[in-house]
Structure 1
Amino acid sequence: MDLNQLEAFSAVMTIGSVTGAGRSLGRSQPAVSKAIQDLENELGYALFDRNGPRVTPTDRAFLLYEEVERSLVGLRTIRERAAEIGRDEQQPIHLVATPALASTIAPMALKLVEAQGLPEHIHLRSASAEQVVHSVLHRTVSLGLTSLPIAHRGLDLHWIGEAPCVAVVRADSPLADCSVVTADMLHGQRIITMSNRYRLRQRIDSALGNGRALDVAIETNTSFNAIMAAHAGLGVALVEPMTALGMPIAGLAVKPLAVNIPFYFGVVTPYGKPNDGVTQALIAALESAARNILHGFVKHDAEQHDELL
């Protein structure tokens, strides 16, 4: 398979039609069709069900798409860097973070190091914790920010941040007038929280269950989704504090919990890769940004990972 085939496949997956993919790529519709057919012949299985100009991806196409996109991002990065080297430009920053961190401390940290001379180009992308790890392991990014645990080999963990989780309720909720929200107050409430049971959700269930299961009405994959569901009056959001405090929304109250449920996050780079001055400054600025946003922020040494988690 070649780059021409992979770009055609990615464009058709994204746009949903061969004609539209051709327009996006600046190619003819027959050229895109042939590239897809050649890729299918090489793979030995169909990627799309055809119905005129529109196509429907097969299950195998969806499985392949994520890997192809990661590869294309890497190739585009190489292409851009090669051009920048030719122009004697500073290497861009490639930063990937979970949504809560990408939308809060990452922009603030970039602003803090701006005076030290940022590269002309900055790539900031949000992804799941698992995708952050993948990107750092494959060295397609300069730096990653992710929730913990993160015990993978091939990563340098620079420091661990900790801050207590919070409850987010509508301003007209009776809980909005409470100084703290206790576990007993949450029983009988519709709870909105995270779906990943191997990260924050496990700690929430353990700390607040009190022998009784919480009434989890809505499970979601991002804190912002949970917070906006609370804003719509669908329940009480139990979330990490970064999104709740870093992206304040009118009409909502962020309340501390009586029981401490720690949210842990960390800064990682590829193992053994020397960090340039900008990356080192950014690692320090991320700590400053976290302290500015989070109440009760505590910094831990990376060596404490297993002890904490």
Structure 2
Amino acid sequence: MNLRQLEIFRAVMRCQTTMGAAATLSMSQPAVSNALKQMESQIGFPLFERINNRLFPTDAARMIYEDSEPLFAIHAALEMRVRDLRDDKVSRLRILATPPLGHGVVAQTMVHFAASHPHVRVGFDVRPLKDVIEGVESGAADIGFGLALGDAPTLKVQSLHAGAMVCVCRPDHRLAREHIVTPQMLRNQSFVGLDGETRMGQTVREAFAAEGVPYVAGVEVRYCGTACVLAAAGLGAAVVDPFSPAASGQTGLVVIPFAPRTPCPASVFWPGLRRQPVAASRFLEALHGTLARTVPTLVGQAAA
């Protein structure tokens, strides 16, 4: 039995006459009768007893009717969703972000966005930059947020903030009172480094190499947020992106500009061959408001 046949069967069950079902479905009475006969022929047993021009459902018909109700409930919900999408009442937004932005400005924006756009269903996940890029390229996400993106020929990229790396340490660290921190000042210091396979780790290593200072880290981690946690625990200083000190929740950290200036731009990106969804555009508008409030509080950062 296909869905149309079930729809006719359901109408007959409710009206108990083929004439009533025909009126409900805007069909002719013979067409309803023929459909019932075809259904009974297909399944191999009668669905109704016919007494005095009225139809009385068999036990099997009642069981089929009860089991089919969830199908029609789902169908009704789907029809309502289609109407809402047509009227732009409901939309979907899938977001991927790296931890520094995902745990900070993106999460903050989501709070305001959800309140002002209650009909937008948001899917959100925090992943490494490589996975964010792959998710956006494959269409698993509508937009992605990341730091130090680099070349991305398959994506449309929009700059959010032309940030720069900073140094973090505990207030009792010997560098805590410095106005800037250089690679030379980190020589022979207990130092939490970033994994060389990450783009930010590569960037910091290049800054050390440009100053002729060996890059020697006692501990290496993948995420800047982890480096902030270890620095706050007293493991040493770390050079991280400008968003992670606040996003990591380590309120006791001292944040100091790092020199030479080491770019760490924040970007949003989406598939190059697709138009940005309306919901994504609205989310970006809200995010720019969050950045306008956040960037002035970041140490050593110029406005984008």
Question: Could you state the TM-score of these two structures normalised by the residue count of structure 2?
Answer: 0.64
- How many percent identity over aligned positions? 21
Following TM superposition, the consecutive aligned residue runs of length 4 or more in structure 1 with deviations greater than 4 angstroms are 81-84
Secondary structure of the 2:94 match is: strand
Change (3 A) 1:84 1:223: farther
- The unaligned stretches of length 5 or more in structure 1 are 1-80, 300-309
Partner in structure 2 of residue 259 of structure 1: 260
Alpha-carbon distance in structure 2 between the residues aligned to 1:256 and 1:206: 17
Partner in structure 2 of residue 249 of structure 1: 250
Partner in structure 2 of residue 94 of structure 1: 94
CA RMSD of aligned residues (A): 2.5
Change (3 A) 1:252 1:83: farther
Secondary structure of the 2:259 match is: coil
Alpha-carbon distance in structure 2 between the residues aligned to 1:183 and 1:215: 10
Partner in structure 2 of residue 85 of structure 1: 81
- Describe the superposition over 1:97-121 as per-residue Cα deviations: whole angstroms up to 9, x where unpaired: 0111110110222234446424353
Change (3 A) 1:87 1:223: farther
Change (3 A) 1:83 1:264: farther
Secondary structure of the 1:269 match is: strand
- The unaligned stretches of length 5 or more in structure 2 are 1-76
For residues 53-64 of structure 1, the aligned pairs below 5 Å read none
Partner in structure 1 of residue 67 of structure 2: none
Alpha-carbon distance in structure 2 between the residues aligned to 1:180 and 1:141: 39
Secondary structure of the 1:95 match is: strand
Partner in structure 2 of residue 204 of structure 1: 204
Question: How far apart are 1:278 and its partner, in Å?
Answer: 2.4
Question: Could you state the TM-score of these two structures normalised by the residue count of structure 1?
Answer: 0.63
CA contact (8 A) 2:193 2:220 kept: yes
Letter of the 1:211 counterpart: G
Q: Which has more radius of gyration? A: 2
Alpha-carbon distance in structure 2 between the residues aligned to 1:149 and 1:163: 12
Letter of the 2:149 counterpart: P
Question: How far apart are 1:291 and its partner, in Å?
Answer: 3.6
Question: How far apart are 1:292 and its partner, in Å?
Answer: 2.7
Partner in structure 2 of residue 33 of structure 1: none
Secondary structure of the 2:125 match is: strand
> How many residues align structurally?
219
Change (3 A) 1:103 1:274: same
CA contact (8 A) 2:184 2:213 kept: no
Question: How far apart are 1:135 and its partner, in Å?
Answer: 0.8
Partner in structure 2 of residue 76 of structure 1: none
Secondary structure of the 1:177 match is: coil
